[in-house]
Amino acid sequence: MPSIPQPLVPGDDGGADASVAAALAAYAAGTAEAAVVAAALSTARLLVPVVALLTESETGEDGLRREKESEMALPVLVGADGRKAVPAFTGAASLKLWRGDARPIQATTPQVCRAAIGEGAAAVVVDVAGPVPFAIEAGMLRALAAIGRVTGERDGVEALLRDLSEHADVTAARLPAPRRGLLSRFRRQKP
């Protein structure tokens, strides 16, 4: 019989990592570079949303439609240009801002980045509905995906990401505030 896997962070209260929240706030204020956020994210736990998708329904004797079968799926964001992004969240509060019915699955940022690449996504969008949206894409996505298990030495990771950001294919986008058009640029796509 298969065993139930242990949570990544037992006793997780769903709160955002303090160092990630501080880095995102500094980035939003223009006092920190994307590499600082990526360094904080490199060792952080993120929450990846899963949602129920109805796959089969039936009509009861009373004439009402009922769920017969459903599957859990990872939502994908699709930009106006057709590129896919995997949403991830720093905490339960930011997940609820985006979609209240989504259920969180714990994962490290490198795991989320590897999964995004594996799914053919161009980016991971952290906290898409706020408080501070942050896109991980291009070289930064590949760099974070390449990290195995970082033992907490953030200076080394930050230096690596800063070096990578000097290459032309590494970008970090400042996303508009979520209520001012970000969500209109993306639509939910069933996997």
pLDDT tens series, the chain, 191 aa: 444 445 666 778 889 999 999 999 999 999 999 999 999 999 999 999 987 766 666 777 887 776 666 566 778 898 888 899 999 999 999 999 999 888 888 989 999 998 899 889 999 999 999 999 999 998 999 999 988 744 444 444 444 444 444 443 443 333 333 333 333 334 334 34
Q: Which residues contact 40 (CB under 8 A, 6 or more apart)?
A: 17, 19, 20, 22, 23, 24, 154
User: What residues are paired with 124 via a beta bridge?
Assistant: 86, 136
The dihedrals phi and psi of 60, each to the nearest 5 degrees, come to -75, 175
Give the CA radius of gyration of the chain: 18
CB 136 within 8 A of CB 81: no
Q: So what's the pLDDT on residue 190?
A: 39
Angstrom distance (rounded) from CA 132 to CA 89: 10
Angstrom distance (rounded) from CA 89 to CA 98: 9
Classify 82 in phi/psi space as left (phi over 0), alpha (psi -120 to 50) or beta.
Answer: left
